[in-house]
Structure 1
Amino acid sequence: MAELASGVASKILEKLGSLAYGEFILVLDIKSQLIELEGTMTTIKAVLLDAEEKQATNRALSIWLRQLKDIFYAAEDVLDEIECEVLRKRVLRTYGRPNREVRGCFSGCSALAFRSKLGHKIMGIKEKLSKIAANKDQFNLIARLEDNHVMHRRRDITHSFVLPSDVIGRDDDRKNIIDLLMHPNADRNVNVVFIVGLGGFGKTTIAKLVYNDKHVAEHFELRMWVCVSEDFDVARLIKEILKCASGTIDENLGVDMWQTSLRDCLRNKRFLLVLDDVWNEDRSKWIELKGLLSAGLEGSRIIVTTRTHMVASIMGTGLTYTLERLSHKDCLSLFVEWAFKEGEDKQYPNLLEIGKEIAKKCQGVPLAIRTLGSLLFSKVDEHEWESVRDSEIWRLEQKEGDILPALKLSYDQMPSHLKQCFAFCSLFPKDFLFNSDLLIQFWMAHGLLNKTCNSQNIELEDVGDMCIKELWSRSFFQDVEHDLWYYRYWFKMHDIVHDLALKVAEEECSVVGFHTQNIVGTIRHLSFSHNGLQVPKYFYMLSCGVRTTLFQTKQVPALVEACISRFKYLRVLDLSYSSFEVLSRSICTLKHLRFLNLAWNDRIKKLPNSICKLYNLQTLLLHGCPRLERLPKDTKKMINLRYLTVTTTYTYLFENGACHLNSLRFLRVYYCPRLEILFQGMNGRLTNLRTLVILGCNRLTSLTHDIKLLTTVETLIVENCKELSLTGGEDGRNLKLSLRKLKILDLPKLEVLPEWLKGSADTLQFLSIRDCPNLMALPEWLPSLKSLRTLEIFYCPKLSSLPEGMDRLTALRELTIDDCDELVRKCKEEDHPKIAHIPSVQLD
């Protein structure tokens, strides 16, 4: 990841710019040192883009960049120490000691000692930086500017379903594989069809086309799809197949009962099972799994997609279909589809000629063609197209079927911060289902999301959303699905794209198991993929500068303690699905921590109050912790907290004064069975809260005491709260709210919409009401919601009519009513004039 040095340099310069003139810096008298450091950094950064581009063919330059980046990280750690101290002083001023004591903290012995320590560190960094910067002249580097502007350039995000018309050059393959599925075989009940092809050839795409084919769906009584990837763990696969077959699974039953349940599900049924992306070469594992699948009726089929014929031969007798490269004609058609807007290829014949040569270099691999087409989409400068065609990367030695050079070309064209965002995705396993919300928070924790100078009012979360869309538009993310209920995205990475992420991040990011013997000492970001009984031996070979620790399985408590005690520069710590009752008090020593995930811990009961000393913490995930008691009393001191999810057994969320969480943007209250009041005794506002989600809080009866604190909330989602009526208290006349989206689901006590909703008459654009069986009528003031664009009503059987004045909703573009028999009848008959002005009306 030496080519990511410019991204780290940008972060440091941004920090230097924000720190250099702060009160604390002036008191410590280190302003001049920081300004000198900023000047040196600016000089070096100017040539980093050129260095990163040339390093692929210059070993010495690559080593120089790596050394430089190590110094950059040391500088970032020092600047973060200053930021930590600034935050600590701010908390002390607000909540802590008397004023004279706080003033003493800036000028006493502690300040002198801190200044001395910082001075030595900054001096050491400056000396190292100046020494290595002096070597840059030998590489004849050119100063270049980088355009960090990121813009979503392609089509809107869609579902992962594959339409045959969207796939070029594979129609014969689809028909041939369907014929193989229908081909009778008297030798066995369950036959296997292998789809074999190199990475990026479209094996999964073809399997999806076959799986979703109308005739296939009619032929097989039961269809199941499981992604296997590199972990052919039989117990896991049994669980995944059973989930597909039955819809649910009892996690506590154990493997033997799962096997029995799976046989029962498959018995006397003709099924189709797709095992996607199989790498297993252990025949015994396949025999074990195949034996469980033999209960199906004759004619049942298993489709296996794999890169190698070796896997097919080891898995035994079956019908093998080898996927070949696309023809040059199909390559060009696919390239035109992705590189040009409709008809644009005829407007730019010179670009089309260059595109023919680029398509030829992609060697018939659809993923490579799609990726480079995405890169060049909407670009009309011939020089940009020629630079892709003539890149030195094509001249590097390649293995047969190697498409990483094509993907690397697209990667090289990205802004540095987008490269870093992509590289960090290597920490997650292949076929990982990404959640856009959490990935954005993960990026934020590492300071990867920067605002441009002309967009200071944009939130970092919005920058992250743009980065996700940009990576998708470049074909680095796939199978993107929009979760319309919670306004987030789910997506995956193609395994070849994941290989690229591993390649560019290999010096800093590592996925390790507990049997790993050796590890590179420069690793700063760790993901543990397997469980173990003790701290692994290689652990103590790691630098103390590790910044990320992710656990993909339940972890050894001793390893958690070792991470906390050794890795003092951690920014991200993921302890989800843990099994401890109390979090260690020493967590407060991780003063640089930005992201802490404790979700889905079914044993944890208490958080130490010391956690509130994590003043840098931005993301705290506590959902799915059914035994967790109240949040610590000093939660209000976590002044940087932006994203909080919580499950608690207590009757309210926060102690008095928690309204000082003025950095909070997102709050999700998740299945709190005893929660009666959201905010106890608060007399202020959560001044930056944008999204509030309340789910499964069955003792919560009202929001009327809380709504006045939520004047900045734009998205409110309330779901499955059996006693919540939403009404009473504030009437909304004197309340100014900012709601844009309101979603209400499964509120049996809701009889009328709350009056306080009138406070959002100028802003509310989306209103969805679902599963509210006792909602009697829509209010007469509903037409006062003059910004309303979408209204959805599902299963509200007691609604019988729309209010008068619906024609005043001139902004309303979509009306959907379903499972409301009387209301639908009225809208089709006598109430039809009320909705005749709405462009899109869907009834039942």
Structure 2
Amino acid sequence: MAEIGYGIAVKVLELLGSVTIDELSSAWGVRSDLTKLERTVEAIKAVLLDAEEKQAGDRRLRIWLGELKDVLQDAENVLDEFQYRILQKEVMKRQGNTSEKVSNLLSSFNPLAVRFEMAHKIKGIRKRVDEIAAEKDNFHLAQGLVDRKLNRQEWRDMTHSFVDPQNVIGRDDAKENIIHLLMKQNENSSRNVDVVPITGIGGLGKTTIAKLVYSDGQVVGHFQLRMWVCASDDFNVIRLIKEILKSAIHQIDENFVVDGLPNSLKELLKDNKILENLGVDEVQCLLRELLKDKKFLLVLDDVWNENQSKWMELENLLLSGCNGSKILVTTRNNSVATIMGTAPTYHLDGLSQEDCLSLFVKLAFKEGEEKHYPNLLKIGNDIVKKCKGVPLAVRTLASLLYSKVDERKWKSVRDNEIWHLEQNEGDILPALRLSYNRLPFHLKQCFAYCSLFPKDYEFNSSLLVQFWMAHGLLQSPNNEQLEDIGDLYIKELMSRSLFQDAYKDVFFSYSFKMHDLVHDLASSIAKGECSVVTKTSTLAAGVCHLSILESGQEVTTQLEKLSKVQTIIFTTKQPVSLLEACIARFKYLRVLNLSNSSFEVLPSSIGSLKHLRYLDVTENGKIKQLSDSICKLHSLQTLLLAGCSNLERLPKGIRDIISLRHLIITTKHTCLSEKAVGCLDSLRFLFICECENLKCLFEGMEGRLTNLRTLVVVKCPSLTSLSLNIKHLTALENLVIEDCEELSLTDKEENQDLKLSLQLLKIVELPKLEVLPQWLQASANTLQHLEIRDCGNFTALPEWLPHLKSLQTLRIINCPRFSSLLGGDARSHCTKRISD
């Protein structure tokens, strides 16, 4: 993954050019060395793009790039430590310490020993970089190639290449045939429940067709209950039972009478988190109760399991449904279909050349544009032939060429040597690899890092952007917000069909997945850089990013061989001893994911991770406190504490995490005040959820949170006041308040002369809300979207509503006491959408 070297070179140059580095380098007497280092790295960066293009066929060049990456990583770590020292200095200033104490801190930077150590490190790195730079001429690399940058105008031009899952070409017959199999009563079978398999190679669209069938009106009306579960690689019966129950709770049809459910299932409807704590016997009984005497459809998507006993264990629990119930299975493996199927298997073939070309034209051209480019259409026909009828390949290459009219680019795709690589029947990786090769280098890194997450993982765009940010992958040449840059990257990867099944959630993020073959591509690219750790895995010595699937001595032994790890994702619960060992060994960690862990207290040693940017402790129901040492993580940008229901308090010094931009918290605090959260001036996103004791927010925090753009408050039943001091939240764009039964949003003393910039306000399940707050008028020129839902006492819209000049969407949903829309003049002025 040679582009890593290019990316690190960019980061090193950004660090070398920063004002803070310049300030400290003068104090430590290393400015000359850093200036020389900057010139050398700049010269190397100039040829790295060409090196990436040529390294596949040159072993010596690959070795050179590996050595370069190592030394640039060392340079980045040293420069990052410089940045940390500056942040320490800023913390001391913000704490209001005396000038004498600040002077003492600064003097600690300048002892002879410290200066000598840092100067020695810098000189050593500069020498190594000089030696590597001297070798670059041996490879005859071209200078001056420029990485293609993304811009917002380009994104606007590309939006039409999004692929709607419902927009399927050439599959009408397949859909109708599968529906017929599901509706058909098998008279020769004594079974209540039949299993219908769909087979075919990856990328044919098995899942897409299953979705079309699942949501078809005939099918919806035929089955009382429908459930969808992705089986994927992990055919764990208990996990699958829980997923089936979750899907049923989420997907209950209107004709399924909730009042007739047993009490045990009613409790699940209230809170499906109860499932996670249930034992084997309990979930099995619940599943039988759910399916008893009901005609159901269950889709088991992407099944790989060939262990018949595992299938029989699950199947036995599914046979209590009514006669005519069906299980629809999608799989690439014919032996899986043989094991599971009781009805004829539907073998999905590739699309015809004609249908493939229709799909390609639809996605590669703007509507009607193909008529003006007959030569491109002819080249496109040749490209489509190479895709061998696989829609994913067609879609990927069409997205790559969308709105491009240069024949040379089209011929380059058609004639690329990658098509000549040996491949198995139906293999579409060459098509995907082509799409990857044409990504800008920064997007290549972002895409490859996604391989750390398991197949069928549902990504959240907001958190993925924070993950990329932690590794310095987001480039902001025009000083745009990094979150906005990351959102642009997400949309670019979606537009190229490298992300799929995308939808926008209620909290301003996209959720999406990667197709299995796209995940395989990312894994092949990131090999040697990103690794999944099991008891039997073999790790490359230079691996930097780990997803740890298992625990035990075998795993610990593998980790002892590594030294430069920057990412650790624990996907299973781990002993605190392994966590402590990782903290002690891997001092350059940028990302540490401990979600779903069961630590009662984080080790105090965590405060030694000076480089840490991203810490996830989500859904740890046992943790009671965070070590105060966490406040030493001055570089931390993302802190995730959702679902930490027993967390008694946030550390008193959390204000010292001055780089924090993204905070999600669940806590037992009664008030988030200045003392509790301090002056988090860098905060952009704040999500407060399931805080049962919380009564007020931001008390005494005048002049704080001035960069906060999004605030979400959910399930805080004791909250009586936001105490926003809202006039200080001048950057706030999105505000969501949901399920806070004691909150009315009406301040006793309405603020005057406010300067707000809200763009979206969403109010859900606030029984005490009667009217809109007066302070909303301060966003008259910016508010675009207003939604009020499930507010039983909301009565009327205010007379000043027409003053909201930028309002585009107004939704009022399920508010039974709402009786007044607007007066005559106001109604004619406001032509927005209102839903009852």
Aligned to 2:227: 224
Equivalent residue in structure 1 for 2:189, among 176, 182, 187? 187
8 Å contact from structure 1 (residues 3, 52) kept in 2: yes
Paired amino acid for 1:28:
W
> Helix, strand or coil: the match of 1:716?
strand
Aligned to 2:808: 789
- Compute the displacement of 1:704 (Å): 4.3
Aligned to 2:65: 65
In 1, the alpha carbon distance for the partners of 2:822 and 2:239 equals 53
Aligned to 2:441: 416
Equivalent residue in structure 2 for 1:519, among 510, 514, 539? 539
In 1, the alpha carbon distance for the partners of 2:346 and 2:459 equals 31
8 Å contact from structure 1 (residues 211, 217) kept in 2: yes
In 1, the alpha carbon distance for the partners of 2:176 and 2:816 equals 46
Name the CA shift for 1:157/1:238 in 2 (closer, same or farther; >3 Å).
farther
Paired amino acid for 1:648:
T
Q: Does 1:257 align with 2:282?
A: yes
8 Å contact from structure 1 (residues 445, 618) kept in 2: yes
8 Å contact from structure 1 (residues 658, 682) kept in 2: no
> Helix, strand or coil: the match of 2:547?
strand
- Compute the displacement of 1:105 (Å): 3.9
Aligned to 1:334: 359
Name the CA shift for 1:529/1:207 in 2 (closer, same or farther; >3 Å).
same
Name the CA shift for 1:584/1:294 in 2 (closer, same or farther; >3 Å).
same
8 Å contact from structure 2 (residues 161, 364) kept in 1: no
Aligned to 2:585: 566
Name the CA shift for 1:159/1:760 in 2 (closer, same or farther; >3 Å).
farther
In 2, the alpha carbon distance for the partners of 1:670 and 1:687 equals 21
> Helix, strand or coil: the match of 2:592?
strand
- Compute the displacement of 1:581 (Å): 1.6
Name the CA shift for 1:95/1:109 in 2 (closer, same or farther; >3 Å).
closer
In 2, the alpha carbon distance for the partners of 1:683 and 1:738 equals 17
Name the CA shift for 1:816/1:53 in 2 (closer, same or farther; >3 Å).
same
Q: Does 1:666 align with 2:685?
A: yes
Aligned to 1:367: 392
Paired amino acid for 2:833:
L
Name the CA shift for 1:31/1:657 in 2 (closer, same or farther; >3 Å).
farther
> Helix, strand or coil: the match of 2:692?
coil
8 Å contact from structure 1 (residues 148, 416) kept in 2: no
Paired amino acid for 1:597:
D
What count of residue pairs does the alignment treat as equivalent? 808
- Compute the displacement of 1:472 (Å): 0.3
Name the CA shift for 1:790/1:806 in 2 (closer, same or farther; >3 Å).
farther
Aligned to 2:38: 38
8 Å contact from structure 2 (residues 20, 86) kept in 1: no
In 2, the alpha carbon distance for the partners of 1:686 and 1:44 equals 41
> Helix, strand or coil: the match of 2:834?
strand
Aligned to 1:103: 103
8 Å contact from structure 2 (residues 711, 732) kept in 1: yes
In 1, the alpha carbon distance for the partners of 2:776 and 2:182 equals 56
Name the CA shift for 1:84/1:111 in 2 (closer, same or farther; >3 Å).
farther
Which aligned pairs between 1:576-587 and structure 2 lie closer than 5 A? 576-587=595-606
- Compute the displacement of 1:775 (Å): 2.4
In 1, the alpha carbon distance for the partners of 2:415 and 2:102 equals 62
> Helix, strand or coil: the match of 1:752?
coil
Equivalent residue in structure 2 for 1:479, among 484, 501, 508? 501
Structure 1's unaligned 5+ residue stretches are: 819-844
> Helix, strand or coil: the match of 1:47?
helix
In 1, the alpha carbon distance for the partners of 2:733 and 2:810 equals 16
Instruction: Choose 9-18 or 185-194, whichever is displaced more.
Output: 185-194
Name the CA shift for 1:372/1:743 in 2 (closer, same or farther; >3 Å).
same
Q: CA RMSD in A?
A: 2.2
Q: Does 1:636 align with 2:655?
A: yes
Paired amino acid for 2:129:
L
Aligned to 1:719: 738
- Compute the displacement of 1:278 (Å): 1.0
Instruction: Choose 707-716 or 567-576, whichever is displaced more.
Output: 707-716
Equivalent residue in structure 1 for 2:567, among 527, 545, 548? 548
Q: What percentage of aligned pairs have identical amino acids? A: 56
> How far does the alpha carbon of each residue in 1:659-692 deviate from its partner, in whole angstroms, 9 at most, with x for none?
5211011111112122122123333231111111
- Compute the displacement of 1:230 (Å): 0.8
Instruction: Choose 143-152 or 273-282, whichever is displaced more.
Output: 143-152
Aligned to 1:154: 158
Equivalent residue in structure 2 for 1:460, among 460, 466, 482? 482
- Compute the displacement of 1:209 (Å): 2.1
Structure 2's unaligned 5+ residue stretches are: 251-267
Paired amino acid for 1:508:
E
8 Å contact from structure 1 (residues 158, 482) kept in 2: no
Paired amino acid for 2:780:
A
In 1, the alpha carbon distance for the partners of 2:684 and 2:556 equals 41
Paired amino acid for 1:261:
L
Aligned to 2:637: 618
8 Å contact from structure 2 (residues 299, 328) kept in 1: yes
Name the CA shift for 1:21/1:308 in 2 (closer, same or farther; >3 Å).
closer
- Compute the displacement of 1:512 (Å): 1.9
Name the CA shift for 1:803/1:328 in 2 (closer, same or farther; >3 Å).
closer
Paired amino acid for 1:489:
Y
Paired amino acid for 2:124:
G
Deviant stretches of 4+, over 6 Å: 156-160
- Compute the displacement of 1:324 (Å): 1.8
8 Å contact from structure 1 (residues 222, 271) kept in 2: yes
- Compute the displacement of 1:435 (Å): 1.0
Equivalent residue in structure 2 for 1:431, among 456, 471, 479? 456
- Compute the displacement of 1:479 (Å): 0.5
Q: Does 1:500 align with 2:521?
A: yes
- Compute the displacement of 1:18 (Å): 1.4
8 Å contact from structure 1 (residues 728, 754) kept in 2: yes
8 Å contact from structure 2 (residues 719, 742) kept in 1: yes
> Helix, strand or coil: the match of 1:816?
coil
> How far does the alpha carbon of each residue in 1:269-297 deviate from its partner, in whole angstroms, 9 at most, with x for none?
33222111111121211121122222223
> How far does the alpha carbon of each residue in 1:539-568 deviate from its partner, in whole angstroms, 9 at most, with x for none?
434422111111222222221111211111
Aligned to 1:354: 379
- Compute the displacement of 1:99 (Å): 2.0
> How far does the alpha carbon of each residue in 1:17-40 deviate from its partner, in whole angstroms, 9 at most, with x for none?
115763222211222211211111
Aligned to 2:261: none
Equivalent residue in structure 2 for 1:469, among 462, 468, 491? 491
Equivalent residue in structure 2 for 1:651, among 670, 679, 684? 670
Aligned to 1:698: 717
Instruction: Choose 790-799 or 434-443, whichever is displaced more.
Output: 790-799
